[in-house]
Chain A
Amino acid sequence: MIKVEHLYKRYHIRKVSDWVLKDINLTIPTNVSVGLIGGNGAGKSTLLRLIGEMDTPDKGKVTRDCRVSWPIGLRGGFQPHLSGRQNVKFVARIHGLEATLDEVIENVQDFAEIGNYFDEPLRTYSAGMRARLAFGLSLAFNFDVYLSDEATSVGDRHFKQKAQKAFKDRIGKSSIIIVSHAEAILKELCQAGIYLYKGEAYWFDDVNKAIAAYHDES
């Protein structure tokens, strides 16, 4: 279960900055996959990062009693000058999997299917290859909740199917909190939805209703 209480967040970019998130209160049960929906700049990624404890809220708190992944996204998380293999090793190490390093590498390599690029520096990767690696890497760990920030959106058809299948296999064991504009993916993977609008969050038990609320806005 992930509990979000009285959460406020803003970024100090200009002198006067509005709240990106304003008094968010949510309880996300484990085993329920949730889609985060909203326009650009509505605060979807920010909320996801706060849930993943990658960023700290200005007020309020997030409490969790389950293992939550880092936000799997298109940006960040990899060192561009090191190879895919070295990056995978690094992440496995910080998660305390030094002993099973070879197994992790094998799993990621199998899933990502990027061939020889696995031993090339990350800066040579295409966006799709990065996404494959990032996604495969996160699946190598047994998280209860996966956080995904558009991670599958740049993959090709084959990869999307594979990623969705991997997640469907895990339903019951793991859930996902996903930020995406691809409504088909949301409908397929998620049961519930959170619709973000003007700094506030609205919870819907049915993801279709959250999508409908988003459509009503635009």
Chain B
Amino acid sequence: MTSLSKLTMSTRTPWQITKSVWWALYVRETLQRTMSDRLGWFWLFFQPILIILVIVIIRFYAMQRVRTIDGADFIPWIIVGLIAFQVFRETMLRSMGAIDANRQLFSYRQVKPIDPVFIRCFVEGNLNSFIFLLFILSSLLMEFSLIPHNPAGALLVWISLWLMGVGCGLILSVSTVIFPETKKIVPVSMMPLFLLSGVIFPINFVPPQLIEYLLYNPVLHGIEIIRSLFFESYNPVKGVSYIYFYNWVFGVLVLGLILQLRYEKRMKVL
């Protein structure tokens, strides 16, 4: 072996260690997502786009009756809802599995269980933002517009929906270690949540006495808020509140971080 003496390691500060761990995990996560399948990088972008397109087409031709939305065109309305739901769901589901999938790496004491969770959230946030941008740009070429009338507000709520996914991911990644059943229950419950969040059907079609209960779902608030920031004359469901939504965002983030600290040791056991 040559020139071993050059490769000395200095004592690093905790922040330096964390930075290099995050960078290493980021490269690794990207490689793994793009190289595991044939044309992995293509499917990475194309799969979520395809899902959105298929749902839009099905929804456009089926149930034509429920197609007029007050104050917004139907297609932009449903695309915004779908992708806003998707950034929340994908961030949550991908980061939920992060600890299980990266267990091997806890052999290196530099890697903490929370690190792969953060990295997956970051990758998922970037990916979905990029897809959203693609949709917005391609809408310029078509007859409908996806340009938000309040871009700064829409960006903030977009980030907040992502942060809610991060918070839920932090909570659920701990939960999968303590209750492995989480891995089965959570994906199943995504379908009802999808329908109850008013992603493809306007919630205004639900009887008013039921809406009261649907409004407990914070994702519905987030999606209605981001739509109202995209379409100027769109009226979100009555009762939608910024305060309720942000309470949830901060709530899940804080709870997630607390759980990560509390159960760190337990999650490191191979």
Q: A69-98: which residues lie under 8 A (CB-CB) from chain B?
A: 70-71, 73, 75-82, 86, 89-91, 93-98
Residues of A within 8 A of B24 (CB): 89-90, 93-94
Residues of A within 8 A of B108 (CB): 70, 77, 91, 94
Interface residues on B, range: 35 or more
A55 within 8 A of B: yes
Complex CA–CA separation, A98 to B9 (angstroms): 11
B120 to chain A, nearest CB (A): 14
Residues of A within 8 A of B270 (CB): 75-76
Q: Do B20 and A77 touch (CB < 8 A)?
A: no
Q: A107-122: which residues lie under 8 A (CB-CB) from chain B?
A: 107, 110-111
Q: B1-45: which residues lie under 8 A (CB-CB) from chain A?
A: 1-10, 12, 16-17, 20-21, 23-24, 27-28, 31-32, 35-36
Where chain B touches its partner, the secondary structure class is: helix
A56 within 8 A of B: yes
Q: Do A67 and B107 touch (CB < 8 A)?
A: no
The chain B residue with its CB closest to the CB of A139 is B1
Complex CA–CA separation, A53 to B265 (angstroms): 11
B209 within 8 A of A: no
Q: For the complex of A and B, list the 10 residue pairs with the smallest distance between their C-beta atoms, beginning with the closest.
A: A93-B24, A77-B107, A53-B109, A56-B265, A76-B107, A94-B24, A94-B110, A96-B20, A107-B1, A94-B21
A interface residues (Cβ-Cβ under 8 A, vs B)? 11, 52-56, 67, 70-71, 73, 75-82, 86, 89-91, 93-98, 100, 103-104, 106-107, 110-111, 139-142, 166
Pairs A–B under 8 Å by Cβ, sample size 22: A54-B109, A55-B269, A70-B107, A70-B108, A71-B107, A75-B270, A79-B32, A80-B104, A81-B32, A82-B28, A86-B31, A90-B28, A93-B20, A93-B24, A93-B27, A94-B21, A94-B24, A96-B12, A96-B20, A98-B20, A141-B7, A142-B7
